[in-house]
């Protein structure tokens, strides 16, 4: 029973990380912009040195999104599982802090967890990270039950996915996202896209008397 539970958690967490990472690998520039928002907030609220990280926001974004994809793949295929659990745990713990800070202090209203494809509120992002933290916590508690050896095919799958993720990220930076989820992507009629999505509910009247 435990074996199947751990396999189910691996499938769910690994699949979610791959999905989230691929969306952002598709648009590293968008992730870099979101990182700059966090650096601005941290520079103003915590320490000024965070503003220096803005110079490397794109590089940090690429490393982060590629790591999401690769760690998700490693968890699915069983490559260095114990290391993967530690790395995912550290990453989700960091994300949980970010999303809680954003939600509690209302600083960054969109975490960018799924890029422009799926919008989550700060509290939704936080609850999602809490669930992931619990699931990875289960894997951590039973890490000795996970396979200790890595099949050769799993190692090569990880290497190939790492290389492909980096190539996709670099290509997307130099051109455009392969799948553009942005509101005003190429081909969208901007005046139509800017129209209200629902009828206006309020009417403002200037009641000032002369």
Interatomic CA distance for residues 31 and 8, integer angstroms? 29
Interatomic CA distance for residues 173 and 74, integer angstroms? 25
In the prediction, which pLDDT does 164 show?
Answer: 96
Q: How many residues does the chain have?
A: 210
Give the chain's residues under pLDDT 50: none
In the prediction, which pLDDT does 49 show?
Answer: 84
In the prediction, which pLDDT does 192 show?
Answer: 65
In the prediction, which pLDDT does 61 show?
Answer: 92
Longest distance between any two alpha carbons in the chain, whole Å: 83
In the prediction, which pLDDT does 98 show?
Answer: 84
In the prediction, which pLDDT does 195 show?
Answer: 65
In the prediction, which pLDDT does 193 show?
Answer: 60
In the prediction, which pLDDT does 189 show?
Answer: 61
DSSP type of residue 57 = H
**pTM score:** 0.82
Interatomic CA distance for residues 134 and 136, integer angstroms? 6
**Sign of dihedral through CA atoms 41, 42, 47, 52?**
negative
Distances (CA, A) of 103 to 44, 55, 126, 196: 17, 26, 7, 26
């Amino acid at each position: 029973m435990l074996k199947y539970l751990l396999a189910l958690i691996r499938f769910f967490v690994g699949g979610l990380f791959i999905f989230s990472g691929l969306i952002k690998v598709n648009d590293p520039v968008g992730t870099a912009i979101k990182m700059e928002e966090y650096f601005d907030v941290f520079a103003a609220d915590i320490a000024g040195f965070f503003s220096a990280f803005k110079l490397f926001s794109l590089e940090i974004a690429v490393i982060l999104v590629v790591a999401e994809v690769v760690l998700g793949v490693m968890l699915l295929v069983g490559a260095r599982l114990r290391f993967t659990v530690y790395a995912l745990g550290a990453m989700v713990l960091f994300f949980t802090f970010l999303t809680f800070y954003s939600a509690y202090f209302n600083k960054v209203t969109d975490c960018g967890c799924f890029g422009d494809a799926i919008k989550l509120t700060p509290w939704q992002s936080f609850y999602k990270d809490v669930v992931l933290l619990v699931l990875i916590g289960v894997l951590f508690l039973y890490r000795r039950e996970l396979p200790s050896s890595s099949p050769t095919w799993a190692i090569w799958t990880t290497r190939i996915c790492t290389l492909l993720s980096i190539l996709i990220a670099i290509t997307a930076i130099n051109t455009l996202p392969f799948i553009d989820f942005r509101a005003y992507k190429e081909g969208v009629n901007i005046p139509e896209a800017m129209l209200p999505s629902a009828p206006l509910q309020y009417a403002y009247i200037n009641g000032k008397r002369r």
